Amino acid sequence: MPRTQTEVAAAVAEAHRREWGFVLAATVRVAGNIDRAEECVQDAYAQALQQWEARGIPAKPGAWLTTVARRRALDLHRRDATAQRALPKLVPDELVADVAEAVGGDEIPDERLRLICTCCHPALAVEAQLALTLRLLCGLSTAEVARAFLVSEPTMAARLTRAKQKIAAAKIPYRVPPADELPERLAAVLGVVHLVFTTGHTAPVGADLVRRDLVERALELARMLRALLPSHPDVAGLLALILLTDARRNTRVDRTGRLLLLEEQDRSQWNQSEIREGLLLVREASDHRPPGRYALQAAIAAVHAAAPTWADTDWEEVVELYDQLCAVWPSPVVALNRAVAVGMARGPAAGLAAVDALAAEPELAGYRYLPAARADFLRRVGRADDARAAYLDAIALTDNAVERDFLESRLRSLPTG
């Protein structure tokens, strides 16, 4: 059934958000290298814009896009066989032939874990592993990945290019490592999944607070890892963290789209199924001594999930857990989160002092939550003029419309004169 140009554009945009990682990961197996796979996938999306208007939007857009992209990759192999033999291969030729037989099927093989493991190869720097996987797996633009890492877009573009070149030059294989090799690569893989989740939980840019596609993608990947490594405490901890944090998803904005802080949320609407599963996983992950980074983050989320009301939150326990987290994962962002917890446990003056102690941290320069936290504590201690300046700093650094609207409303609420 023919569709309008507007309908098709919306469908293609939705397919990009939801299917990019599936389509690219499946196409890499045929294309033989990442750059060629990206070219074929981009061509498939371009064809969708042209063909769906006349032929109608397929029932399974991801399957359609994957079939088109992989057929394009096979065509390139056939037309350029000599040159293709000279290109570094991610997969052996027999796998290309194997996958070619599947082209045209209705089901999309889930190759995302292969793509993550390729991008998280130890030959790549950790920053490159995370950035490359977020770009390739989730289809984020270079600008969006740059914002997630708090670096400039040209810096991130160069980092991504170097990472792909290294994969090609080193002939890094496109596969899930054998069981005996997987644990050593696990830290990078977990870091990727965590970054996918945090980027979706609070989108760096855009009109919506949450990118549900990324949140769901991270949850699926965490469950995949859990199936691969069912007894690993870090995997259990990460899955627990995602579940306990995501349980609050539907209460984070009101009906008008206004941001709701944790103290304002209707806890009866939190996802109790995710909370129950998350609490069991926290206990499992915490049985390992010493508890790891994800187990501790999940334990902090569990404190909030277990508190029946905001007033019942055990903030001293949260501070203690952040102290342990700072010991196993020292990070200025973790220190900032601890400072906020200190302010909740011991009063806004104590929180302000803890935040101000981090002002000179270079990693927090340009991090919007530093001036936002400082502004809130300044507001609460009655320093309206200083709070106003801090809110303006936070607003200037905030590209998410929901967060910016919240900060602007707080700014307007400050007393004048």
Confidence at 350, pLDDT banded by 50, 70, 90: very high
State the Cα–Cα distance between residues 407 and 390, nearest whole angstrom.
10
Q: What is the pLDDT, as a whole number, of residue 20? A: 85
Q: What is the pLDDT, as a whole number, of residue 147? A: 73
Q: What is the mean pLDDT of residues 119-124?
A: 81
State the Cα–Cα distance between residues 304 and 314, nearest whole angstrom.
8
Q: What is the mean pLDDT of residues 75-95?
A: 59
Q: What is the pLDDT, as a whole number, of residue 143? A: 85
Helix, strand, coil percentages in the chain from 3-state DSSP, rounded to 5: 70, 0, 25
In the DSSP assignment, the letter for residue 253 is B
Q: What is the pLDDT, as a whole number, of residue 81? A: 64
Of 32-41, 78-87, 371-380, the least confident: 78-87
Q: What is the pLDDT, as a whole number, of residue 103? A: 38
CB count in 10 Å sphere of residue 79? 9
Asked whether 77 and 96 are in contact (CB, 8 A), the reply is yes
Confidence at 394, pLDDT banded by 50, 70, 90: very high
Phi-psi region of 202 (alpha: psi -120 to 50; beta: other; left: phi over 0): beta
State the Cα–Cα distance between residues 202 and 211, nearest whole angstrom.
7
State the Cα–Cα distance between residues 229 and 227, nearest whole angstrom.
6
Of 47-56, 150-159, 166-175, 344-353, the least confident: 166-175
Of 9-13, 30-34, 149-153, 175-179, the least confident: 175-179
* Identity of the amino acid at 255: R
Confidence at 301, pLDDT banded by 50, 70, 90: very high
Q: What is the mean pLDDT of residues 86-101?
A: 47
Q: What is the largest CA-CA distance in the chain?
A: 76
Tokens matching residue 398: 């905030």
Q: What is the pLDDT, as a whole number, of residue 417? A: 64
Does 104 score more than 50 pLDDT?
no
Asked whether 325 and 319 are in contact (CB, 8 A), the reply is no
268-294 per-position pLDDT tens digit:
999 999 999 999 999 999 998 899 999
Which candidate, 127, 133, 178, 121, places its Cα nearest to that of 25?
Answer: 133
Does 314 score more than 90 pLDDT?
yes
Portion of the chain with pLDDT greater than 90, in percent = 49
CB count in 10 Å sphere of residue 333? 16
Q: What is the pLDDT, as a whole number, of residue 234? A: 95
CB count in 10 Å sphere of residue 72? 22
Tokens matching residue 62: 């991801």
